[in-house]
Structure 1
Amino acid sequence: METEPITPSTPRPVRRPALVQGRHELTFLHWPVEPERVAALLPAGTRPDTLDGVTYVGLVPFLMRGVGLGPGPGLPYLGTFCETNVRLYSVDGQGRRGVVFRSLDATRLLPVLMGRFGVRLPYVWSSMRLRRENGVLTYTCRRGRRAGRGPTSRVVVRPAAAIAQPTALELFLTARWGMHVPWHGRTVHLPNEHAPWPLHRAELLDLDDDLITAAGLPPMPQPPVSVLYSPGVTVRFGAPSTVRPTPAPGRQCPGRQRSPGH
């Protein structure tokens, strides 16, 4: 089964968006991990997506703005909040690459409830803050609403030069056009569409994080191999489609996986 290539542009346009959201002031931190260490954490019908035999764990804090249902303008207050997600990378039996969220911490209760019960995403209501001072971004997160009750995260970065031509790894980690979600006993793929990410190099100044291990992932004792920043894009989500079961061993579709960007 051929896997769809990773490109900076959306491979399939979303003509009738079910959800629109602005993702701004993002920092992408990534660590390599062996696929077999995370395979059991992915929904049925998907497997770890890999680049040169390696998959990745991502920690992504950002500011959400203007979340809204349908194509209309998002909500100015309830639709604006800080979020931090822990994510993995997946591919399904139809060759569609995606993201699997292990946790999503957010500061607005209503979006958390909508995400948990409407889309079946593992949202958690948390205390978070994003501060920009002298060109340095500081993201803080404390799970739950009381001090000392849950895991915390602190990320401090200094964005640097814009990236004119992303590497194969940078595209693999950021140019994702859908997510895989467990849904009432099956797995669905939710496509999305947005402009190519405007990416910048970034310097990691400080990191103290408990969210990755709280999401059931192995500890990441080494510094991240990729640190990126983006001022953000507006994302449009389309209608979900069911992921077909993965073919049994010996019955896989012929063909080879394409390399990202080719």
Structure 2
Amino acid sequence: MHYTSALAAWAAHWAYRLPYCHAHIDLKQQGQTIVYSSRRTHRRVPPAEFSATWTIGQVLPQTEPGSLAFFLTERYCLYAAHQDQLYRSRIFHQPWQLYQAELVSFHSTMLESHGLPTPEGDPLLYYAEAMAVQIWLLAKV
């Protein structure tokens, strides 16, 4: 994950043991088109870039338990490992209202910068508006 504020990235890493990295991020929305770009500038990890443009489509029906969309979006716990210990944080949010999304352009070196292979095939893409989320402190599992 990437964050434009070095302090926020440090806080997320310290409080939740998340692999946040400092990056320069740009996000623009013009009508139903979103343009996002990120360039990782963190000192202790390889440099990498991500950019994508997509358009927001029609609203989708509420996700159903057992569906792939439900599995991918309705997460209510965050897990992290630190010093051979597993931690969990509870998360609460209303169900996401998903929209269809169509990818216009895409470029990424994120996975490859960590020695992982380039994914093949078309990505699965949804869009959702921002929403309030409550998150609790980490606790040992």
Tell me the TM-score normalised to structure 2 length: 0.87
Which residue pairs with 2:56 in the alignment? 159
- Aligned residue among 172, 176, 182 for 2:71: 172
- TM-superposed deviation, 1:139: 0.5
> Within the alignment, does 1:117 sit opposite 2:14 as a pair?
yes
Which residue pairs with 2:137 in the alignment? 239
- Aligned residue among 45, 66, 80 for 1:181: 80
Which residue pairs with 1:106 in the alignment? 3
Between the aligned partners of 1:123 and 1:169, the Cα distance in structure 2 is 26
Which residue pairs with 1:203 in the alignment? 102
SS in 2 for 1:173: helix
After TM superposition, list the pairs within 5 Å mapping 1:52-63 onto structure 2: none
Between the aligned partners of 1:235 and 1:200, the Cα distance in structure 2 is 19
Between the aligned partners of 1:220 and 1:158, the Cα distance in structure 2 is 21
- Aligned residue among 87, 93, 96 for 1:194: 93
Q: Is residue 142–residue 153 contact of structure 1 (8 Å, CA) maintained in 2?
A: yes
Q: Percent identity?
A: 22
Q: Deviations over 1:71-126 (max 9, x none)?
A: xxxxxxxxxxxxxxxxxxxxxxxxxxxxxxxxx11101110111222322111110
Between the aligned partners of 1:189 and 1:228, the Cα distance in structure 2 is 26
- Aligned residue among 122, 125, 132 for 1:227: 125
Alignment gaps of 5+ in structure 2: none
Between the aligned partners of 2:97 and 2:114, the Cα distance in structure 1 is 28
Count, aligned residues: 136
SS in 1 for 2:17: coil
- The aligned amino acid for 1:237 is I
- TM-superposed deviation, 1:133: 1.6
Q: Is residue 91–residue 136 contact of structure 2 (8 Å, CA) maintained in 1?
A: yes
Alignment gaps of 5+ in structure 1: 1-103, 244-262
Tell me the TM-score normalised to structure 1 length: 0.49
SS in 1 for 2:128: strand
Between the aligned partners of 2:73 and 2:127, the Cα distance in structure 1 is 11
Between the aligned partners of 1:213 and 1:132, the Cα distance in structure 2 is 28
SS in 2 for 1:232: coil
- The aligned amino acid for 2:62 is Q
- The aligned amino acid for 2:50 is S
Which residue pairs with 1:259 in the alignment? none
Q: Relative contact order, CA 8 A, sep 6+: which one is greater?
A: 1
Which residue pairs with 1:131 in the alignment? 28
Report which of the two structures shows the higher radius of gyration computed on alpha carbons.
Answer: 1
Which residue pairs with 1:218 in the alignment? 117
Task: Report the aligned-residue RMSD.
Answer: 1.8
SS in 1 for 2:125: strand
- Structure 1 runs of 4+ with >4 Å offset: none
- TM-superposed deviation, 1:160: 0.6
